Structure 1
Amino acid sequence: MLLSQYRREDGGIRLVAREGHEAFEVRTNDTLRDLALACAASGTRLRERILALGLGAPVDLAAAYDGGRLLPPLTHPDPAHLFVTGTGLTHLGSASTRAAMHATAPEDETDSMKMFRMGLEGGKPSNGAAGVQPEWFYKGSGDALVAPGAALERPLFAEDGGEEPEIAGLYVIDSECRPFRVGFALGNEFSDHIMERRNYLYLAHSKLRQASVGPEVLIGDLPEDISGTSRIRRGNETIFEKPFLSGEANMSHSIANLEHHHFKYDIFRRPGDVHVHMFGTATLSFADGVAPADGDVFEIEAVPFGLPLRNPLKVTAGPVPEPRTAIHVL
């Protein structure tokens, strides 16, 4: 089952479910977050609850997409209570992509390659044990989460704005501080790769950018082997197109290990909060020398996740920023 959220013409937010080609409103006024928290409290599976509520009016998701009415599939009414985070060097091939950005002599193994090898050796532990920690980063609060179809903004101070096609896990935290996974969605973990290439210690800065997920959430288990396509369109021309792979068959870490090392922190288990966590990628147009420009459209698709995720790039215009941010003393 695939779930999404859209804004009706009367302004109301409605939850949509589909299996196959047809989509229908779920007979509830709850958002996906509301429904997920209710399921967590009652011990009900989300799919079972939706089927019990029943399906109502049909929805033309493509028309809602074209009309700019699709929303991120999981949101929080207070953006400060939504965390957008991610992990890197988690996919087979991701280390070579990163190493190419920080090339050194062959005998000089980069820290990125060392961390990747740690993941290969200890990222998929058996017997329920915790494995090696992955690279982890913070992208922002709910204000950084852009709806499908909306623009991803490259700020004035940025040196680049490039896509990262990923799978994201979407979570809610119940009243007993337990994380519940709602499902998985396509993600564009938009980043500044030129800044990161200058020095890998700038990675934290390069990740403080917007991101987008959706349009639809896959309920249930993540397929073991995911094959999708990442492309960039410039007008009527496709200037970049390349397959991307995900799922545990193509990863050096298990999903369970990545989830453990995120939610082991108390600050990420606060009742009612929402988490969008990106699991990483090995495919970047930046690695192929592509420089996205204002108006280019990123498109990420993979069959299990329904509609493709599309977002245009918007390069912020305006005067040159001040040399430093003004600080007002109290």
Structure 2
Amino acid sequence: MSILFECEYQGLRYAGLDLPVAGERQTLYRVTEGRLRELFLAGGGPQAVRDALAATAETVEVDAEDPELRFLPPLLPTGSNNALVTGFMGTHRSKFPAPPAPDEPFHAPNWLIKGFGSWLKTQGEPLTVPASSVALLEEPEVALVFVNDDEGVPHYAGYTFANDLNDIGLHQQNPWGWTPYAKLCDTSMTPWLFLGEPPATVTGRIVIERAGATAWKGDFACGGDAIFQRVPDMVDNLFSYPAMRRPGLVNYLLLGSDKASWHDGFRIADGDRVTFHLESHGVVLSNEIAYAPAVERAASAGFAAFAPASAAG
């Protein structure tokens, strides 16, 4: 599998070829923000992108575990924040009574906006959730990465993996109204951009640790073969909306998740560590859950400044 990644090192942006290996030196290629996007839009396919990077004159050699090395979500525009994270819901076959017939008409799944690209966390960073969360659910998902050209035409760059953490307990209380609130939990994403078609099958294990010990574990599967709808139809339908085709926009599309720890009766707590071992692809995504302290009457305190003098008493 061909892989690219971007990172920051000593205040500068670099790109790398292939997965870093612990204990080995890694060659990084100096890039400016948007350089990889330009290479993908230039055409020529994944190999042309890799060849262009390999020809970069300015390089550094670093240890893969250097503390100054900070990996970034794939193609993230850190300057302009012109990136959007969205996701599909109810896509996996395990949530439907029967697989679709080959000639079954396409029915678009539910869809939601998760947030801006700058909201993404990556490997090792804490995932912050409201302290008022009812019941959290980790969701291992395939994330497709698209970059729009200057005319707004989306170009597929590759795929990576994400944890679409959400408050399923809140969602269950009001599935038709509170799901957007339930999704306002941090999302993590691996920095590795796999240069190829969306995967048919992704397999691995979820391990949730509490106080350093395994509290829950289970297997998972995702990818095209696990999804009820046809992925090209899902993508084509979404990009039929002009808002998704804004020039220069980077789109991260989360394809949905199967059942996980919540469905098994487990409840994630503050301080738990959730780790996805994506064994089919040789990568790991691990994050600690952090409950955010409540903000006392933040909005109403601001409104008080605009209250009429008589109302202030």
Query: What residue in structure 1 maps to residue 100 of structure 2?
Result: 121
Is residue 2:246 matched to residue 1:279?
no
Which residue of 271, 286, 290 maps to 1:314? 290
**3-state SS of paired residue (1:259):** helix
Superposed CA offset, 1:242-289 (max 9, x none): 111112222212221221122111000011111111101112211122
Contact 2:165 2:186 in 1 (8 A): yes
Q: Which amino acid aligns with 2:269?
A: A
Contact 2:165 2:183 in 1 (8 A): yes
TM-superposed CA distance for 1:169, in Å, is 0.7
Contact 2:19 2:192 in 1 (8 A): no
The CA RMSD measured in Å over matched residues stands at 2.9
- Counterpart Cα distance in 2 of 1:248 and 1:325: 48
Where in structure 1 are there 5+ consecutive unaligned residues?
Answer: 96-115
Instruction: Determine what percentage of the aligned residue pairs are the same residue.
Output: 24
Contact 1:79 1:143 in 2 (8 A): no
- Counterpart Cα distance in 1 of 2:265 and 2:112: 24
- Counterpart Cα distance in 2 of 1:320 and 1:329: 18
Map 1:228-247 onto structure 2 (within 5 A).
228-247=204-223
Is residue 2:243 matched to residue 1:296?
no
Map 1:97-246 onto structure 2 (within 5 A).
116=96, 120-121=99-100, 131-201=106-176, 202-246=178-222
Contact 1:3 1:216 in 2 (8 A): yes
Query: What residue in structure 2 maps to residue 248 of structure 1?
Result: 224
Where in structure 2 are there 5+ consecutive unaligned residues?
Answer: 308-313
Contact 1:90 1:279 in 2 (8 A): yes
**3-state SS of paired residue (1:184):** strand
Superposed CA offset, 1:133-169 (max 9, x none): 1111111112321122111101244334431111111
Superposed CA offset, 1:80-139 (max 9, x none): 42111000111121x2xxxxxxxxxxxxxxxxxxxx46x9437x769xxx8221111111
**3-state SS of paired residue (1:27):** strand
* TM-score, length-scaled by structure 1: 0.80
- Counterpart Cα distance in 1 of 2:275 and 2:146: 24
Contact 2:202 2:281 in 1 (8 A): no
Map 1:45-64 onto structure 2 (within 5 A).
45-54=45-54, 56-61=59-64, 63-64=65-66
* TM-score, length-scaled by structure 2: 0.84
- Counterpart Cα distance in 1 of 2:121 and 2:289: 12
TM-superposed CA distance for 1:321, in Å, is 4.8
TM-superposed CA distance for 1:184, in Å, is 1.0
Higher relative helix content: 1
Higher relative strand content: 2
Contact 2:26 2:61 in 1 (8 A): yes
Question: Aligned pairs, how many?
Answer: 299
Q: Which amino acid aligns with 1:48?
A: A
Q: Which amino acid aligns with 1:121?
A: P
Query: What residue in structure 2 maps to residue 261 of structure 1?
Result: 237
Change in Cα spacing, 1:131 to 1:60, as seen in structure 2 (3 Å) is: farther
